[in-house]
Amino acid sequence: MASLPGAPRSSGRAAFVVVAVAACLLAGLAPALSLPVQARDRVPVLLGPVEPLAEWPQLPDDDTESPVLVRDGDGVTAFLQEGCCGVVYARERMRGGTWSPEQEVPCVWSGMSTDYCKVYGAAVGVEGELVALVHLFTGRRTALAISVRAAGQTSWSDPQLISDGYVVAGNTRPTIRGTGAGALLVTFGDFRRGRPDALIAAHLRPGQTWDAATYHRLPNVQWPQVSGLSRRGRAVVIYSNDPGLTAPVLVARFIPGHGWAKPTRIGTGWTENYAVAMGLGGRAVATWLETNTDSTGSTLTTQSQRVRLMTRRGHWSRAWVLARGERGTSGNARVWIHGEAGVAWSPWIGDAVRVAAKPVGEPWQKETIAGGRNGGPLRVVDINPAGNLVLTWVSWREGVGDRLVLALRPRGSNWSAPRIVYTDQDTASGSALVRRSGSAIVAYGDDNLQQGVARRAYLDRDDSG
């Protein structure tokens, strides 16, 4: 199964087993979690209709690469890839729900076709152009580039290199972030010394060209996860400085014009499955799984899912413990900001999906939105400008295969009951967006290299669907 952005993990199905200790049954954890459970144990219903975006022939020994969805103004653009490293196409969702014909994103380097090409994401520039972040590889050379599609156009420019030779490998996934006001931030790893020892940030101010972009280096970074940008172009990265993830988690702010601020340690024990988000106003929230050991440093004692908040000035709050258990308490996590802080996590593969939200001035409110075998590793969370949320995860059951599951929370309402988007032996959840109306679009790939989207209309307050 293809690796996706998010908490540190290895490839394949082992990607889901990111907690480095033995699994623990949820039944043994439930008393310790003490969550006000409001699990909706109804049988999930099938979403639809499924709208195919592309269908590729079966390619031998090729993992699926999931589509990438990008909010482009009021519309959506999907990036599709043939196999792991083949031709990249873009398709726009038009008014009325139809998709545009395929638009090939050029993967050329100095006029030569590349052996490998991958789109990691896109952002909207100051003049409404869509800027795609492309990884190119040919022979022994590798580079990161941007390709631009001007507003109102259908063709993409040839890639323009923004770094050459040290951009993609191992534990650092290139990212591109934008504020919608023209500021863009690209982050990628520095591998020139043979290991990912730094995170590079390329910052572009509104109206600048990439030739004038400034580059900032943050040393000794492992497994970084980068937040979105605030209106002022600020961001936060959460990371470890130990390849084995046995060191406390750190955070560092990116400040335009100054670069990376001094890192801050926000955890105490081993840390993994961490995530960070920043709101448009500059506040941030970080969550992580913290593992504590005995005096020898080798025997596990407790694990807990923790969260801290950051003010606009960069000051971090105390840590709250959202869940506590003895072994294998938490899986992956995602966070969001929109007038409140929130996190989502899964105690273990297939056990449950839990969320916690903290409205301004109120305590944390915890809820289980999928119990029992409805749970699974969390993959995607998205919030749209209207405040609607969508959360997706993959649930795996023996003899059934993977189920891509979705839950929505319209602004001011409760979480919906889980809805199955797609079932397959090897579903790869790629990207999800929620529209201003509250409906969701989910892009995914499967082991037959077929890629498509599923869309659901607005879910009302009674969760009847």
3-state secondary structure of 46: strand
Helix (H) or strand (E) holding 306: strand 300-310
- The arrangement of strands across the sheet holding 68-72 comes to 68-72, 75-81, 88-93, 103-104
pLDDT score for 379: 61
| Token reading at 250 | 């750190």
Domain 63-180 of CATH type 2.120.10.10: yes
Q: Is the sign of the CA dihedral 52, 158, 233, 120 positive or negative?
A: positive
Question: 200 and 189 in contact (C-beta within 8 Å)?
Answer: yes
Question: 216 and 200 in contact (C-beta within 8 Å)?
Answer: yes
3-state helix, strand, coil in the chain (%, to 5): 5, 50, 50
pLDDT score for 166: 58
Helix (H) or strand (E) holding 393: strand 389-397
Residue by residue, DSSP assigns 316-365 as B-PPEEEEEESS-----EEEEESSEEEEEE-SSTTT-EEEEEEETTS--E
The structure's pTM equals: 0.80
| Token reading at 189 | 């790893």
Q: Over its length of 465 residues, how does the chain's per-residue pLDDT go in tens digits?
A: 222 223 333 333 232 222 222 222 222 222 222 333 333 333 334 445 556 666 655 444 444 466 788 887 667 888 887 666 667 888 888 777 778 888 889 888 776 777 778 888 899 887 888 999 988 887 767 788 899 999 888 899 999 888 876 555 557 788 999 876 778 999 988 766 556 578 999 998 887 888 888 899 999 888 899 998 998 899 999 998 876 667 788 999 999 989 999 999 998 877 777 889 998 889 999 998 888 777 666 666 677 888 999 999 999 999 999 888 645 444 566 777 777 888 888 765 446 788 888 888 889 998 888 765 544 556 667 777 667 788 887 776 656 666 777 888 877 788 888 877 766 655 555 677 777 667 777 777 665 445 566 554 433 333 333
Torsion angle of C-alpha atoms 226, 230, 234, 240, degrees rounded to 10: -20
The structural domains of the chain, with segments of one domain joined by +, span 63-180
pLDDT score for 333: 67
